[in-house]
Amino acid sequence: MSKARLMQIATLAAAVSLAACGGTGSDDSNTVDTAENTATETVEVVEPVVEEAEEMVEMVEEDMTDWAQQERDFLVENSTVYFDFDQSTIRSDARQTLNAHVGYLLANTGATVSLEGHADERGTREYNVALGERRAQAVESFMKLKGVKDDQIEVTSFGEERPVSTDHALNRRVEVRYLAW
């Protein structure tokens, strides 16, 4: 509510209350003067309260923006789920990371992710594409079991085509990429 509107309401309320408490009505100008004085005093009391409330709202909005950015930063920093050799089973050490992504997706139903499955270079190209697909589907199943909607998830496999390291263990992964926040 705007300050001007709040002051109008306060003035009207003061005037109505004074009019209702007024005497016989023999001195209308005195009643009007008293109502105007009371309304001015009310505005003087209400105005700082309104300003303080507006400042508090701004502070909460800033805190929420900071918190949302921190949450996004955390999700970006923790966007990789690793797998054991020749496996597509989600490891226990990945559950906390995936639960954080699930929580965000459940709270932000407009958000969408791409689950990009990867494998190390051992095995044939076809086998590694299929393994990357199974890994991404395992993450997708985990998310869907927790309540994430189908239309929030896309699954892709790159197989061995996009290694991030010469360390095989770092290439056996699914990367959670946000398409829309």
* Tens-place pLDDT, residues 2-59: 555 555 555 555 554 544 455 555 555 566 666 666 666 666 766 777 777 677 767 6
The pair of structure tokens assigned to 123 is 């095995």
Residue-range domains of the chain with CATH: 3-69 (no CATH), 78-180 (3.30.1330.60)
pLDDT at 51: 77
Q: Residue 117 in contact with residue 162, Cβ under 8 Å?
A: no
The average confidence (pLDDT) of the chain is 84
Distance CA 90, CA 77 (A): 19
Residue 112 φ/ψ region, left for φ over 0, alpha for ψ in the -120 to 50 degree band, beta for the rest: beta
Size of the chain, expressed as the number of residues it contains: 181
Half-sphere exposure of 164 (CA within 13 A, CB side): 13
The rounded Cα 32 to chain-centroid distance in angstroms is: 51
pLDDT for the residue numbered 21: 52
Higher pLDDT residue, 106 or 37?
106
Taking the C-alpha atoms of residue 168 and residue 141, their distance in angstroms, rounded to an integer, is 25
Could you tell me if 39 and 11 are in contact, meaning their C-beta atoms sit under 8 angstroms apart?
yes
Cα separation, 147 vs 150, in Å, equals 9
pLDDT digits (tens, 9 = 90+) for 110-141: 999 999 999 999 999 999 999 999 999 999 99
Tokens of 171: 């290439």
Q: In what helix (H) or strand (E) does residue 118 lie, and over which residues does it extend? A: strand 112-118
